[in-house]
A and B are shown apart, each in its own frame.
Chain A
Amino acid sequence: MNPYIANTADDMRAMLQSIGVRSVDDLFSDIKEEFRPRSFNLPEGRSEQEVVSELDRLARKNAYALKLFIGGGYYDHYIPAAVTALMSRGEFLTAYTPYQPECSQGTLQALYEFQSLICALTRMEIANASLYDGGTALYEAMMMAVRITGKKRVVLDGGVSPIYRKIIRSYTNNLDIALVETPVVHGQAHRPDIKALLNNGTAAVILQNPNFFGAVDDFSDIVAMAGSLGVLTIASVYPASLGLLKPPGDMGVDIVTGEGQSLGLPLHFGGPYLGFMATSKKYMRKMPGRIVGQTVDRQGRRCFVNTLQAREQHIRREKATSNICTNEALCAIQAAVFMSLLGPEGMKEWACLNFSKAEFARKVLEQIPGVEVKRSAPTFNEFTVCLPKDAQDVVEAMIQKGFAAGFPLGRYYPGMDRYMIVAVTEKRTRQDILQYAQALREVLGA
């Protein structure tokens, strides 16, 4: 018997007797003979020790010790040990959606704190308790804008992550929504292009800050331009930057989303990550996802519950604002712990450290002959570099020297084969950066 099953043969006999059947098979009598599996050809079970050893063998086949200068929306940040320790508590880990608030106040209060922290960080009025990831959160924001405005045309800026743009395209394929993309410019969102595409039949304009090329922007003028036409502005943001950067709420953005991986979640080969969303109170009933609200119990004590559930699938079924049910609650709590540990000073110092290390790296790299660092806009912790040869060749050669040197843009932007984006987080030391530059010189023969 496997170690996760409690009942012995004696227990089973007693239970079958209570049920009034002679064998376990009798309970499966609705599954007719012809329904039996045509095959169930699986390996036999193994001990915990053997499985751990097998997984260790597989994990070691991955190149996880590279010095990461690759970002693209997913960054190698330090995770304080206290975050990981709290997240292994079984009371958080092995609970489920807080349907019974009396025995779920821990999860509920932690999620309320998460929502509040996201609101403070983005300077928005209301946030939900998480979505799946940054990409799907942006799709949900677009659908929300379509619901709010009743319009079905969306302008998507070329500076938004190409991964996010591909996600949005997939989901709108079967729907009657027109997506219009502005051309890609490495610098800030290109105002004339956006202006030319906005009209009063447009539901939303979707932007990203910093954008995929690393450029930092202030969208206030775009928000004003869009607002005058009744168009909502959606911005995807990078939370690690917001201790330093102007928050989207101060630009007047209507719906903010983002990838929360930088807030204490490991890279983990793509997930689990954390989508977040924040907006104005006037749009709260159109927002997807769970929302935790404060209330009082029958004795007047402060407490927390899932609220505005009339938006959700378990109540509204086909009329729900979204189909989301299980989300990323534990990742949201993890982010709340991370933000609480860092505090206001910590968040600011962290952002500044990222910024100044990337600035240092920019200066060091542009001294290498043939390397051109794009300077058309200020950047945060990632920037675009033009190389004298194919960026994929360069990155491949750099891996042999122990560096994931950046992400070549040619993969998603035809014609940009010599460009790559380089990310520098607080984990990269001065020495790492100088060694990286030296390795790059060698690879380029400069």
Chain B
Amino acid sequence: MENKSKGFNIPERKTDSVMDLVFEKSVPGRRGFRGPAPDVEGECSLPQEYCRQTALPFPEVTELDCLRHFTGLSRKNFSVDTHFYPLGSCTMKYNPRFTEDCAKHPGFSQLHPLLPQLRQGEQYSQGALQVLFDMDRLLSEITGMDAFTLQPLAGAHGELTGVMLIAAYHRAKGNDKKIILIPDSAHGTNPASATIAGYETVSIPTDDKGEMDMEILEKNINKDVAAVMLTCPNTLGLFNPGIDRIAGLVHAVDGLMYYDGANLNALLGRCRPGDLGFDVVHVNLHKTFSTPHGGGGPGAGPVGVKKALVPFLPVSRVIQTKDGTFALDYDAPESIGYIASFYGNFGVIVKAYAYILLLGRRGLMETSDHAVVNANYMLSRLKDVLPPAFDRACMHECVLTAKTLLARDVHALDLAKYLIDRGFHPPTVYFPLIVKEAMMFEPTECESKEEMDRFIQALRDGVGLSASNPQVLKECPFTMPISRPDEVRAARDLNANFFQSCV
């Protein structure tokens, strides 16, 4: 095989430059939109005391200026559409475009959310309610749960909802429980959600196999434990074969098992959280079910529960009546109440629904099989240059460590920046926190072997550079409009508002 590891010729810097802010492109008198002329009599006669007295310093740009500005900005992003984006734990798979069309249908996009709250109002949104009802059923079958609420608006919102359901369950049973156990490999959202819902959290360390330390877990199991919150496979990309034992221990003290579904893409058709003993599950539609991440949302984090927790689900719930029509049910005296304004991020739910319908049973199973093979392939081709955090087969993502490069003063961050120059979005770095110099790779099922091979070669080249020319790595990236922002200064001399900065 050709030795490319010395080919660290870095591409020429592109001409893309730092862009002016939209405010700096403003020219008084220009405008980007004209509304209809008033067709009713009467001046804008609101009493002065209620009126805005100050000018609105919005930009004055033409529609073309505005188009060019934001198009120009968009081109400064890496995205799944333009680059391999193996950001671990985020499941950056391809987002099929037909789902966008489905969501944009005026029958969905122009539908007012209060219509079904009119008397007999459900008849005006039967199609939308069917989407919600079907998704409840589909997600329940996929995860092995009894019922879902589709209301949570993101994964962390699902976690908070799930923990509130756990609290309601214990309250109804008269259980006075204060503690939620969370492995130290967990996403930061887990302890944050548990705390915000009113619980204390206890962190359980990871053992030398990359699994929850059973001995310490057992020591911490007692009647105060309300739940254990787990990601499975965990954030190290490992499936814990002792998951049934954990469930047994927790259930023995009437604690509940919470499943963080961030990594569900590994398991479709291979096992279901419900069958493993989990009582509450959230899934991230923007991960496993391929709705676009949008630069950080909108997502959706539906929550599924076992029968014992169904009475506590948020209102409203979509039900099917005897005549086959769909209705909203608010009659749930034990419900935790409203957790969002309406029925969830409906536009996102439509996209995930279309995706599931297209893939179907077999397509979903293929998805996990390919995601897992791809991650293991990357692991197999990288582990000789970057040791795995735990040397065993992974699921849909693998965690390696760049700590061996520290002797050359090269960090995971430097390799990440080098990958940008080679045209790849970096993996997740410095997470999970328990792995020193962690690099977490999640190729997803969508990437081809050739693309992964190019990425692998680039990363191997980067490791090679760490020996031959570490200084170059410290200065990467060279090909982007900017390089190595001063984050300390950003926090110290905070400027988060253009107009404040001008004062």
Query: Can you name the residue of chain B whose Cβ is closest to the Cβ of A271?
Result: B345
Write out the residue numbers on chain A whose beta carbons fall within 8 Å of the beta carbon of B167. Answer: 174
A window 6-56: CB within 8 A of B: 6-7, 11-12, 14-16, 18-21, 24, 26-32, 34-48, 51-52, 54-56
Chain B residues, Cβ within 8 Å of A323: 156, 159-160, 189, 192-193, 195-196
Interface assignment of A433: CB less than 8 Å from any CB of chain B = yes
Q: How many angstroms from the CA of A136 to the CA of B156 in the assembled complex?
A: 13
Which of these binds chain A: B216-224, B370-378, B403-411, B457-465? B370-378
Cβ of B454 under 8 Å from chain A: no
Q: Is the CB of A331 within 8 A of B373?
A: no
* Residues of chain A lying within 8 A (CB to CB) of residue B102: 51-52, 55, 59
Interface pair A126/B157, CB less than 8 Å apart:
no
1/0 per position for A199-218, CB-CB distance to B under 8 A? 00000000000000000111
Q: Which residues of A contact B22 (CB under 8 A)?
A: 113, 336, 340
Contact call B293/A95, Cβ cutoff below 8 A:
yes
Quick one: closest A residue to B18, CB to CB?
A301
Task: With CB as the reference atom, state the residue of chain A lying closest to B161.
Answer: A170
Closest 6 CB pairs of A and B: A270-B342, A59-B107, A45-B360, A330-B294, A90-B81, A61-B127
- The answer to whether A349 touches B154, judged by C-beta atoms less than 8 angstroms apart, is no
Residues A92 and B500 in contact in the complex (CB < 8 Å), given A167-B338, A344-B56: no
Q: Beyond A55-B354, A243-B56, is A313–B156 a contact (Cβ under 8 Å)?
A: yes
* Stretch in B3-11, B115-123, B303-311 touching the partner: B115-123
Partner among B77, B195, B363, B417 whose Cβ is within 8 Å of the Cβ of A105: B77
B251 within 8 Å of A (CB atoms)? no
Assess whether A56 is in contact with B19, with CB atoms less than 8 Å apart.
no
User: How many interface contacts (CB-CB < 8 Å) are there between A and B?
Assistant: 718
Taking a contact as CB atoms under 8 Å apart, the answer to whether A344 and B271 are in contact is no
The B422-467 residues at the A interface (CB cut-off 8 A) are 425-426, 428, 431, 445-449, 451
User: Across the two chains, which residue of chain B brings its CB closest to A170?
Assistant: B337
Q: Which of B58, B66, B346, B446 contacts A120 (CB 8 A)?
A: B58
Is B292 on the interface with A (CB-CB < 8 A)?
Answer: yes
What is the minimal beta-carbon distance from B410 to any residue of chain A, in angstroms? 17
Asked if B477 and A7 sit within 8 Å, CB to CB, the answer is: no
Q: Does B227 lie at the interface of the complex (its beta carbon under 8 Å from any beta carbon of A)?
A: no
Inter-chain contacts of B43 with A (CB < 8 A) = 356
Query: Considering only CB atoms and an 8 Å cut-off, how many residues of chain A contact the other chain?
Result: 214
Which residues of the partner chain B approach A302 to less than 8 Å between Cβ atoms?
18
Instruction: Report the nearest B residue to A47, measured CB to CB.
Output: B358
A285 to nearest B CB, angstroms? Answer: 10
Minimal beta-carbon separation of B429 from chain A (angstroms): 8
Interface core residue of B126, B201, B354, B449 (most chain A CB under 10 Å):
B449
CA distance A340 to B337 in the complex (A): 38
- A69-103 CB contact bits vs B (8 Å, 1 = yes)? 01011101010101001101111111111111111
Binary interface profile of B, 82-108, with partner A (CB < 8 Å = 1, else 0)? 110101001011111010111101111
Residue in B78, B124, B379, B490 whose beta carbon sits within 8 Å of that of A63 in the complex: B124
Contacts of B109 in A (CB 8 A): 266-268
Task: Kindly list 11 other residue pairs between chains A and B, CB separation below 8 angstroms, not including A88-B100, A133-B153, A245-B51.
Answer: A42-B141, A48-B358, A73-B341, A94-B292, A113-B23, A133-B341, A166-B338, A284-B494, A327-B297, A340-B58, A399-B118
Within 8 A of B (CB), among A160-196: 163-164, 166-167, 169-171, 173-175
13 A–B contacts from the bound complex (CB under 8 Å) = A6-B370, A51-B357, A78-B35, A89-B71, A119-B499, A119-B500, A269-B112, A270-B343, A272-B297, A272-B298, A304-B485, A318-B192, A344-B55
Q: Which residues of B contact A82 (CB under 8 A)?
A: 32-33, 63, 66-67
- Inter-subunit contact B63/A341 (CB<8 Å): yes
Taking a contact as CB atoms closer than 8 A, the residue among A42, A356, A433 that contacts B38 in the complex is: A356
**What is the CA–CA distance of A102 and B421 in the complex, to the nearest angstrom?**
10
Contact partner of B138 among A42, A295, A330, CB < 8 A?
A: A42
Q: Any chain A CB within 8 A of the CB of B359?
A: yes
Tell me if B321 is interfacial: C-beta within 8 Å of chain A: no
Residues A324 and B188 in contact in the complex (CB < 8 Å), given A31-B239, A116-B23, A407-B114: no
Asked if A142 is at the interface (CB within 8 A of a chain B CB), the reply is: no
Q: Which of B35, B446, B493 contacts A5 (CB 8 A)?
A: B446
CA–CA, A40 to B33, complex, Å?
51
A231 in the interface (beta carbon within 8 A): no
- Inter-chain CA distance A92–B127, complex, in Å, is 29
**Pair B341/A42 contact, Cβ less than 8 Å:** no
Given contacts A4-B94, A28-B372, A120-B56, contact A356 B497 (CB under 8 A): no
Complex alpha-carbon distance, A271 and B157, angstroms: 14
- The reply to whether B295 and A96 form a contact with Cβ atoms under 8 Å apart is yes
Give Cα distance in the complex from A52 to B354, angstroms.
Answer: 8
**Contact of A349 with B342 in the complex, beta carbons under 8 Å:** no
- With the chains together, A308 CA to B176 CA distance in Å? 36
Whole-angstrom distance from the CB of A292 to the nearest CB of chain B?
6
What's the minimum C-beta distance from A77 to chain B, rounded to whole angstroms? 10
With beta carbons under 8 angstroms apart, the residue of B93, B346, B497 that contacts A126 is B497
B408 to chain A, nearest CB (A): 20
Q: Report which of B296, B338, B486, B490 forms a contact with A107, defined as CB distance below 8 A.
A: B296
Q: Shortest distance in angstroms between B284's beta carbon and chain A's nearest beta carbon? A: 8
Given A27-B393, A103-B77, A2:B275 Cβ within 8 A: no
Chain A positions within 8 Å of B197 at CB level: 174
Contacts of B269 in A (CB 8 A): 37, 40
| Interface presence of A115 (CB below 8 A) | yes
